[in-house]
Amino acid sequence: MRSVIRSSVRPRVDGHHRVLWVLAQCLPFAIAVLVVVIELTPLHVMYTGPLLTATPALAAVTMGPRGTVAAACFALVVSVITATYNQAWQNQQVYTNLLALALVSAASITTSSAARTRSENELNQIRRIAVAAQEVLLRPVPDRIGPLRAGSMYVAAETGAQIGGDLYEAVQTRFGVRLIIGDVRGKGLPAVRAAAAVLGAFREAAHYQENLVDVMEHCAAALERERLSPGVDPDARVEGFVTALVAQVPQGPVVEIVNRGHPPPLMLHHGRAEALIPGCPLPPLGLDELLPEPSEGKTESYPFVRGDRLLLHTDGVIEARNSDGDFFVLPDAFEAVRGDAPGEFLDELHQALTRHSAGCLADDVAMVIIERVE
């Protein structure tokens, strides 16, 4: 078993805020350039010393220690050039300006470094809390469960402590090994609540509901109760649906699946990967009211013999893009991986995904792999 939580991309900002942020970072250098223009033109009668002194202080607000050092050095170079050009080294004011620039630069660099360290410490603490919360929600999948070897992996797309809505579980029951994988639309606390409701219902129903469809219906009912509970945001009630897939591996050489709008799993048989596409597609949990008639679930069976591997995954895997905008071709990567143990297999698959996306994932990734060994 392997459960991973990683950060792969920088925080997302919209285009307007990105432009404002870039302009704020350019402001100290723009001021220094303005000083050069003033000092090297007939406008040099204006006093520009305070402008250069403020340059490192402004850089410390948006650029961090390295940017502050760069701005301070640039301001120093501008001071030397303008003083030399104007032959002002005999003027005591030049040395006063340089001393003020040095003091402000030192204070700005120190302040920026302290703020960066404090922010990193706070973020690391929040991340540790988020990791602990995620591990409580997603219990580790055992290395061996019934007639199966198993492994799991979770990769967070956000650099911050945002907890996603991906979910998975595997339990041994009197009906065989039962698994669930799902993906809640959205992020944050509403997604965590929905994921917790679905997982709790599965963990309970998997042990006493004989029919796999009834297990899925139990999860759907739990999600509906969560959506209608007091204090839930109305937008979350409308948009908080869950794609889910429930699988069962009995003693016989088959795997039984009920799929509610989730990406189809991949079966690896004799080195060839095949998607187990449901014959009768069903909507995700929480979207039954959009259908003209109530949907009736159906369990579909597929051969699953010794040596076969089944990969359950969320759409964060197949929606990962490269620099050209091409999606990750999961079946090809699944066939190319040569890892023996399930954990090693998922590690290699994750490395292929990281190479394809250059480490920039658009969505969280959850994967569970099982291999029949008996």
Tens of pLDDT, residues 85-104: 877 787 888 888 888 888 98
Locus of tokens 């997982």 = 199
Q: Cα separation of 81 and 79, whole Å? A: 6
* pLDDT at site 11: 43
Contact 257, 180 (CB under 8 A): no
**Considering the entire predicted model, what is its pTM?**
0.70
Higher model confidence: residue 363 or residue 203? 203
Convert the pLDDT of each residue in 161-214 to its tens digit. Answer: 456 678 999 999 999 999 999 998 877 777 888 888 999 999 999 999 999 999
- Structure-token pair, residue 238: 């409308």
* pLDDT at site 301: 95
CA dihedral (287, 288, 293, 297) positive or negative: positive
Q: Cα separation of 192 and 180, whole Å? A: 16
Q: Cα separation of 229 and 223, whole Å? A: 10
Read out DSSP for 250-285? -SSSEEEEEEEBPPPPEEEETTEEEE---SS--PPB
Of the chain, the end-to-end C-alpha distance in Å amounts to: 18
Convert the pLDDT of each residue in 29-54 to its tens digit. Answer: 888 888 888 877 776 666 677 778 88
* pLDDT at site 8: 40
* pLDDT at site 294: 60
Read out DSSP for 141-182? PPSEETTEEEEEEEE---SSS----EEEEEEEETTEEEEEEE
Of 211-215, 233-237, 283-287, 331-335, the one with minimum mean pLDDT is 233-237
* pLDDT at site 119: 84
Residue 254's closest CA among 219, 218, 300? Answer: 300
Convert the pLDDT of each residue in 121-144 to its tens digit. Answer: 887 887 777 667 667 777 778 999
- Whether the per-residue pLDDT at 352 is higher than 80: the answer is yes
- Element spanning 248, H or E: strand 242-249
Residue 338: band (very low, low, confident or very high) from pLDDT cuts 50, 70, 90: confident
Q: Is 79 strand, coil or helix?
A: helix
Residues whose CB falls within 8 Å of the CB of residue 120, separated by 6 or more in sequence, listed in order? none
Name the phi and psi angles at 255, rounded to 5: -130, 135
- Structure-token pair, residue 133: 């919360």
